[in-house]
Structure 1
Amino acid sequence: MPRRVLPLTDVQIRNAKPRDKPYSLTDGHGLYIEITPTGSKLWRMKFPQRGRGYNRLSFGAYPVVSLLEAREKRFLTQRLMAQGIDPAQHRDDQKRQTLEKASNTFELVAREWHGNKVPTWSARTADNTLRRLELDIFPAIGRRPIHEIRHRELIDALRKIESRGSHEVAHRLKAVCAQIFSYGIQIGLLERNIAADMKDVLKTVRQSHFASIDTDDLPGFLDSIRRNESRMLKPTLICLRLMMLVFVRTSELIETPWSEIDLEKGEWIIPWQRMKRGRITVNPDMTNHHVCLSWQALLLLRELHAITSGGVYLFPNLRDHTRPISNNTILKSIERMGYKGKMTGHGFRALAMTTIKERLGYRHEVIDRQLAHAPPDKLSAAYDRAQYLAERKAMMQAWADYIDSL
C-alpha cells in the first residue's frame, strides 16, 4: 500500500529551517516545497512525461506564492495533463507568446499593417499616412507593446493633436489607429480594439466644402490678382490664372510635366493614372482626361514654356527642380491677396461649376465631365466621351471670354 502523504500547513512551511543541503516537504500529487541552505522556500511540481521519465515545474517562492496559490497551480497543471497537454511545453509556449507580444510594439505592428496596405493605396496616401503616424502617434505610444496600450494613452495622443487645432487630423488618425488595432486582433496579438470604442472622445468636426468665392465676388478677385502681380513670381501668377481657366484639381495642375502639353496642337491630355478616379484600387477609370484649352490658356502656357521648359514640370519647385511646387504655394498666394479662408485652389472648381451653369447656361453634364467627375454608369461614361468633347471645348472658350469681359 502506498504511503499516505499528509497535506502541508502554513505553520509547517514557516517553521521549516534551512539545512546544509536542500530538502523538501511534500504536499501530495507531485507538489512539494524545496528549502535551500540559504533559507529560500521554492514551490516545485514533479510530473510524468510520456516515455521521458519525470519533469519539474517551478511555481515561485513562498510566501510570495502562498500554499493556496501553489495548490491552484497544481490543479491547473493536472487539468492540462488530463487534456493530453505537456505542462512543460505549455509553459514554454506561454513564455514565447509573452516575449512575442512584448516585442510587437504598436509601431512595429503599424508598419507591418502599412506595408500590407501600400499596394492598394496611391503613393500620396501611403506617404501621408505613415508621416502622420511618425509625427503624432509613434512618439506617444509607438514603443509600447500593442496589447498593453490603454484607452487613456491613445486618447492623450489624439487630444494633443486636437489641442493644436488639427481636429480633422485627429479624427483621421483615430480611424487609422482603429485599423491598426483591428489588424493586431487578426494576427492574434490582442483581443480588443480600443480605438473602435472611442466614439465621443474627440470634438465633433463639422463637415465643410473647400472655401470658394461666389460668382459675384469674381470681379473683385480678378482685380486683386492684378494688384498683386508685382508681388508674385511669374510662374505662380500663371498658375493662379490657369487654375481659374481650366479648373483641374490642384495636384493635377502643379504636378503636370511638359510632356503632357502639345503647344503646336493646343492640346493637354492628362493620363488616367494621374487622375483621381484612375488612382483608385478597385475598377479605376482608365480614361485619359482632355483639358480643353481656350486661346487664353494656351497663351499662358506658351509664356510659361519660355520660363520653365528646361525642366520636367510646368511649375518646378524653386529649391529642387526635380519636384513640382507644393499646394501651399497656391494657398499662400491667395492669402496674400486677402482671401484667406475665402478661397482655395479647389475652390476654382466650385466657382466654375456655379458660374458656367448660372451665367453661361451650359448643362450640368458637360461641366461635370470637364471636372472629371464620375458619370453615373457605363453608358453615361461612353456617351460623355463620344458627345461632350466638342461642347466642352466651346464651353471652355466661353468661360475664358467671360473672365476677360469682367
Structure 2
Amino acid sequence: MPLNVLAVKSAKPKERAYKLADERGLYLLVSPAGGKLWRFKYRFGGKERLLALGAYPEVSLVEARDAREDARRLLSRSIDPSSAKREARHHAKHIAGDSFEAIAREYLEKRGALWSAKYTASVLLRLESDVFPTLGARPVSEVTAPDVLEVLRKIESRGAAEQARRAHQHIGKVMRYAVVTSRATRDVAADVKGALHPAAVRHYPALTDPEAIGGLLRTIGAYEGKSIYVRNALLLLAHTFVRPSELRQATWEEIDLEERLWVIPADRMKLRRPHLVPLTDRSAQIFTELKAIRGKSELVFPGYRSRDVPMDGASLRIALSGMGYGGIHVPHGFRAMASTRLHEQGFAIDVIEAQLAHALPGVRGIYNRAVHLKERTEMLKWWSGYLDDLTTSQPD
C-alpha cells in the first residue's frame, strides 16, 4: 500500500532502522535517531542500487515521488540516476567556481599585489554592495550586456552616476580577466558604455592666472598657522606638484638632498610604480629647513598628535580655506596649476605627464621610473624660478 502524509509524519524511531515502503522502489528509511530519509531502490546494469532523494520534512512525500519519477525517466533512457546526480553536482561545483563573484575575487586577489590594501578593499566593497547581489552567482560566461545594464541602472537610480561608472569599469576588468583565463569569450560590459548617463567631470578648484598664483604664494609664505609643516607642505606642493597624499606620507628615507632626488616608492603611488621627483634649489631648501626640526620622526610631515602618523589630509585644505581660498584653490589644485602654465610655456606634454606620474602612451608593463628625468629636472628648475618670480613680483 502506498504511503500517505499521515503515515510519514507519524513514523516513530525504533531500536533499529526500518523502512516504510511507498511504491515503484521508493521508501522512507527511519533511523534510530529519528531521521527520515527518502531512498529509491532500482536496478542498473544488472546490479541493485540506491539513490538518496533527501530528508523529510525538507522533501515532502509529493516531492520524493517527483524525484523518483525523474530517476525512472533517466533509467528509461539507459542513464544511471546516481551517476547523473554526481555529474550534476560536479557541474554545479564547476559553475560556482566560474561564477562572476568567484572570478572577481580571483581577479582582486591577483591585482591586490599591485594595489594598496585600502584601494583593494574599496573595490571589493563596491562589488559586494552593488554587483554581486545581481551577477555574483551567475556563471561569468552567461553574463549578458542587459545583465550588466540592469546592475548599473540600479546604481544610477539612486543618483550615483559616478559610482555606476566605476562599477562599470570594475565589471569590465573582471570580464576581460575571465576572457584571458578562458572562462568567457568576450567583455559584454563594453556593449553598455553608450547606455550610461554621463558622470559629472570632477575638476579640482585651481588658480592658473599668474598674478593670482603670485598672490597665493605670498599668502602661503606669510601663513602663521599652528604648524610650520602646513606652510612648507603647501610650498612643496607648488614646487613639485606631486599628489597631496604622496607628500604627506613622505619619509626621510626617500629624500636624498645630496643627489637632489626624492624617490617615492611604488606602494604610495596611484599607478603602483616608483616615482622620481628632482629637487630644485628651492624645494631642497624647504626640505633642509624641515630636516632641522625633524626630531626622531621618520616622517617628513608628522601629525599634530603623534609624530609616528602622517599629517591629516584635511590640514592643508583647511589651511587654504582659512587663507581665503576655500572653493578657489585646493591642495590637489597645484597639479592643475603647474600643468596649465607649463603647457602654455611650451614644455613637452610627455615631460609634464611624466612629472605628474600619469600613465604615458606607449609605456606598457615595465615602467622606466627615470623616464624623461633630465628633461623633468630642467623643467622643474624653470618652474621653481618662475614661482619665485611670481612671489616677489608685486601686482600693479
TM value normalised by structure 1: 0.64
1:48 corresponds, among 44, 50, 65, to 44
Q: State yes or no: 1:221 paired with 2:216.
A: yes
Determine the C-alpha separation between the residues in 2 that align with 1:152 and 1:376. Answer: 30
Letter in 2 for 1:306: A
Structure 2 unaligned regions, length at least 5: 12-18, 31-35, 54-58, 140-146
Letter in 1 for 2:213: L
Corresponding residue of 1:283: none
Corresponding residue of 2:299: 313
Residue 266 of structure 1 contacts residue 293 of structure 1 at CA under 8 Å; is this kept in 2?
Answer: no
Letter in 2 for 1:400: L
**For residues 292-311 of structure 1, what are the structure 2 equivalents within 5 Å?**
292-294=279-281, 296-311=282-297
Residue 105 of structure 1 contacts residue 144 of structure 1 at CA under 8 Å; is this kept in 2?
Answer: no
The alignment-based identity, stated in percent, is 22
Determine the C-alpha separation between the residues in 1 that align with 2:130 and 2:235. Answer: 44
Letter in 2 for 1:129: T
2:234 corresponds, among 216, 240, 255, to 240
TM value normalised by structure 2: 0.65
Q: What's the offset of the Cα at 1:133?
A: 3.0
Judged with a 3 Å threshold, the aligned counterparts in structure 2 of structure 1 residues 70 and 305 are, in CA distance, closer, same or farther, namely: same
2:43 is paired with a residue whose SS is strand
Q: What's the offset of the Cα at 1:327?
A: 3.9
Q: What's the offset of the Cα at 1:239?
A: 0.2
Letter in 1 for 2:249: E
Residue 217 of structure 2 contacts residue 235 of structure 2 at CA under 8 Å; is this kept in 1?
Answer: no
Q: State yes or no: 1:267 paired with 2:254.
A: no
Judged with a 3 Å threshold, the aligned counterparts in structure 2 of structure 1 residues 47 and 321 are, in CA distance, closer, same or farther, namely: farther
Determine the C-alpha separation between the residues in 1 that align with 2:296 and 2:122. Answer: 32
Give CA deviations for 1:377-405 in whole Å, capped at 9, x if unaligned.
Answer: 79xx999456x367336414422322322
Judged with a 3 Å threshold, the aligned counterparts in structure 2 of structure 1 residues 327 and 198 are, in CA distance, closer, same or farther, namely: farther
1:57 corresponds, among 44, 51, 54, to 51
Corresponding residue of 2:33: none
Judged with a 3 Å threshold, the aligned counterparts in structure 2 of structure 1 residues 35 and 335 are, in CA distance, closer, same or farther, namely: same
Determine the C-alpha separation between the residues in 2 that align with 1:372 and 1:291. Answer: 13
Residue 221 of structure 2 contacts residue 231 of structure 2 at CA under 8 Å; is this kept in 1?
Answer: no
Q: What's the offset of the Cα at 1:290?
A: 4.4
Corresponding residue of 1:3: none
1:146 corresponds, among 125, 136, 145, to 136
1:129 corresponds, among 104, 117, 120, to 120
Structure 1 unaligned regions, length at least 5: 1-11, 26-30, 281-285
Q: What's the offset of the Cα at 1:130?
A: 1.2
2:317 corresponds, among 320, 325, 331, to 331
Q: What's the offset of the Cα at 1:205?
A: 0.6
Residue 280 of structure 2 contacts residue 384 of structure 2 at CA under 8 Å; is this kept in 1?
Answer: yes
Letter in 1 for 2:260: E
Judged with a 3 Å threshold, the aligned counterparts in structure 2 of structure 1 residues 357 and 93 are, in CA distance, closer, same or farther, namely: closer
Give CA deviations for 1:183-232 in whole Å, capped at 9, x if unaligned.
Answer: 789999999999788768864313344432222432443355367x2335
Determine the C-alpha separation between the residues in 2 that align with 1:392 and 1:54. Answer: 86
2:77 is paired with a residue whose SS is helix
Q: What's the offset of the Cα at 1:32?
A: 4.6
Determine the C-alpha separation between the residues in 2 that align with 1:389 and 1:197. Answer: 40
Residue 178 of structure 1 contacts residue 196 of structure 1 at CA under 8 Å; is this kept in 2?
Answer: yes
Corresponding residue of 1:7: none
CA RMSD of aligned residues (A): 5.2
Residue 28 of structure 2 contacts residue 39 of structure 2 at CA under 8 Å; is this kept in 1?
Answer: no
Judged with a 3 Å threshold, the aligned counterparts in structure 2 of structure 1 residues 333 and 46 are, in CA distance, closer, same or farther, namely: same
Judged with a 3 Å threshold, the aligned counterparts in structure 2 of structure 1 residues 184 and 77 are, in CA distance, closer, same or farther, namely: farther
Determine the C-alpha separation between the residues in 2 that align with 1:377 and 1:106. Answer: 31
Q: What's the offset of the Cα at 1:348?
A: 1.2
Is the deviation greater in 53-62 or in 343-352? 53-62
Corresponding residue of 2:144: none
**For residues 51-130 of structure 1, what are the structure 2 equivalents within 5 Å?**
53-57=47-51, 63-64=62-63, 71-79=69-77, 81=79, 86-95=80-89, 111-119=105-113, 121-122=114-115, 124=116, 126-130=117-121
Is the deviation greater in 390-399 or in 186-195? 186-195
Judged with a 3 Å threshold, the aligned counterparts in structure 2 of structure 1 residues 180 and 16 are, in CA distance, closer, same or farther, namely: closer
The number of equivalent residue pairs is: 359
**For residues 139-288 of structure 1, what are the structure 2 equivalents within 5 Å?**
146-147=136-137, 158=155, 167-177=161-171, 179=173, 203-216=197-210, 217-222=212-217, 224-225=219-220, 229-263=223-257, 265=258, 267-270=260-263, 273=266, 276=269, 279-280=272-273
Give CA deviations for 1:50-83 in whole Å, capped at 9, x if unaligned.
Answer: 7xx211336675544677x8545422344362xx
Larger radius of gyration between Structure 1 and Structure 2? 1
